[in-house]
Amino acid sequence: MYTMFLLAITSARRSIYVTNPYFLPDARMTRALIAAPSRGVRVVVLLPGAIDNNIVRQASRSKFGELLKAGIEIYEYQAGLLHAKVMTVDGIWATIGSTNLDSRSFALNEELNAVVYHGSVVAQLEDVFAEELKYSRKIELDQ
C-alpha cells in the first residue's frame, strides 16, 4: 500500500485529493506531498474535525505548517464523523479502502484498498469530496 500511495502522489500532474482520518505521513511521504504543488499539482487534504484519538490529532497537526507553506490545502470536516479513506489523482485514478496515511497502516495493519482507473467513477468520488469540503473548515497557516 505504501508504494502504491507514494507512486500515485509522485506521478500526479494536476490534482491529489485525500480524505483520511489518521493522517500521519512519514518523512518520505511528506516530501512527496510537499513536492507536488511545485509541479503545479493542487493538493487538498480533508481530515476529521473531531477524532477519537486526540494524540493522533495533535501529531497530525504538527505537520500542518510545512504542508501549508508548500501550498497544500487542508480542511477539517465539521458535519460529523469522517472515517473515509479515499485518494483521487488527476481525475482518472482513485483508491478507496481501509488504509490510513500512517505508519501503522503501512507497516503493521492488514489493510485492503481497491484501485479504480475509470474517469466517471473517479469523477463521482471527486464530486463527493467537493461536497464534503462545503461542510469543512479550511486551516490557515496563521492558525
pLDDT in tens, 18-32: 999 889 899 999 999
Q: What is the pLDDT of residue 32?
A: 98
- CA dist., res. 69 & res. 110, Å (int): 33
Per-residue pLDDT tens digits for 43-62: 999 999 866 666 665 666 77
Q: Say what the alpha-carbon torsion angle 103, 108, 109, 115 is, to the nearest 10 degrees.
A: 60
d(C-alpha 4, C-alpha 1), whole Å: 5
How far apart CA 79 and CA 12 sit, in angstroms, is 29
Output the nine-digit C-alpha cell for 59: 501529531
Indicate the number of domains in the chain.
1
- Give the residue numbers spanning the domain of 104: 2-139
Domain harbouring 109, CATH code: 3.30.870.10
